[in-house]
Amino acid sequence: MDRFTTHEIRHIVNACPLFLHIDSDSLHSILAFFTVHELEMGAVLICPEQQNDCLYLLLEGQLSIHLSCTTTPPISFLNSGDYAGEVSFLDHQYPSAYVVANKKSIVIQLHRRNLPRLYDITPIIHNNLLRILCRRIRSGNNSLLHSERNAHIDSLTGIPNRRWLDYAFQRERQQCDEKNVPLCLIMLDVDHFKAYNDTYGHIAGDSVLQFTALQLRKHLRPHDSIARFGGEEFVVLLPNTTLPEAYEVAERLRECLADLKELPNTQPSLPCITISLGVAVLSKQDVLASLLEKADKALYQAKQQGRNQVCLHSEA
């Protein structure tokens, strides 16, 4: 391909797995089937409404990937040496996203009709294409895994959220049933949290929740689980724990905050808070909702009795 200099060819080979392990003569023959295209900033290279017949290799510039439309924030970017359109290029399906030039860019393009000719030149190109496709699949799987993890984590406190609690409860219940050991649950919330927010502001309130989550996790046992249930409420699952033992755990959690006078590392200094806790033990007929309800009744009792204390749910 005459339009490429030796330096440019070397750059393409070094940056692109598509040309890995291909000798110089074969590479020149392969590049003859590629065409060069300049893209102005904002140009749409690929869109879900149109069939894509080409594989694109970005030489210069940057491309952005958008899901629903080109005006939504990009979900990722492609830089020099990256590919675009490889999945739809190989499976003959419509693309699943928009690919847009994020700045002035240069791509080289291979049309699908020329792919058999490349296979005739060297079978290595076939293996390299499969490698590229596998890399894209793995990247997609990693993105899904990252999204799934984020979906179960509370963004403010960094601990699991209510959605995760459903899964954790089913897991812990099954294990406790198999081992024939008890499972307890603690429901707790920050005392007078609304008044704290109103007095010191929502940023201070956020700091309280973050510190509370940190302290609770720090004083739990390794096999215990904690989740932010909502607002200023937290839930703790205690597997292989009797009700008296769960009371001791709850008291330890209460004391780790009650013993502090000020929230550490805040300017200006902020007063610390106390928590009220309700504890319940799982019975055979309980589901998560009924166990939560029992712990919530005990929590309500702790509040009615003056807060900053632990109450146990009574089956009577």
* pLDDT above 90 for 22: no
pLDDT digits (tens, 9 = 90+) for 29-46: 888 899 889 999 999 999
For residues 6 and 172, which has the higher predicted lDDT (pLDDT)?
172
98 shares its domain with 172: no
* DSSP code at position 67: S
Percent of the chain with pLDDT strictly greater than 90: 59
146 shares its domain with 238: no
pLDDT digits (tens, 9 = 90+) for 215-249: 999 999 889 999 999 899 999 999 999 999 999 99
**What pTM did the predictor assign?**
0.59
List the domain range (segments joined by +) for residue 110. Answer: 6-150
The whole-number pLDDT of residue 68 equals 83
- CATH number of the domain enclosing 271: 3.30.70.270
Structural domains in the chain (count): 2
The whole-number pLDDT of residue 5 equals 60
Active site residue 315: no
257 shares its domain with 191: yes
Residues 165 and 45: their CA atoms lie apart, in Å, by 43
What is the pLDDT of the chain when averaged over all its residues?
Answer: 88
Across the beta sheet with 54-60, the strand order is: 34-39, 105-111, 54-60, 83-84
Residues 151 and 160: their CA atoms lie apart, in Å, by 9
Q: Do 100 and 45 form a contact (C-beta atoms < 8 A)?
A: yes
120 shares its domain with 208: no
pLDDT digits (tens, 9 = 90+) for 285-300: 999 999 999 999 999 9
Active-site hit among 8, 38, 60, 232: 232
Q: What is the end-to-end Cα distance of the chain in Å, rounded?
A: 86
pLDDT class of 2 with cuts at 50, 70, 90? very low
pLDDT digits (tens, 9 = 90+) for 56-97: 999 889 999 998 888 888 888 898 888 899 889 888 899 999
- Give domain status of residue 156, yes or no: no
pLDDT class of 1 with cuts at 50, 70, 90? very low
- State the angle between helix axes of 202-218 and 243-258 in degrees (0 to 180), rounded to the nearest 10: 130
Question: DSSP string covering 270-297, please?
Answer: EE---EEEEEEE--TT--HHHHHHHHHH
- Give domain status of residue 155, yes or no: no
- State the angle between helix axes of 193-200 and 202-218 in degrees (0 to 180), rounded to the nearest 10: 130
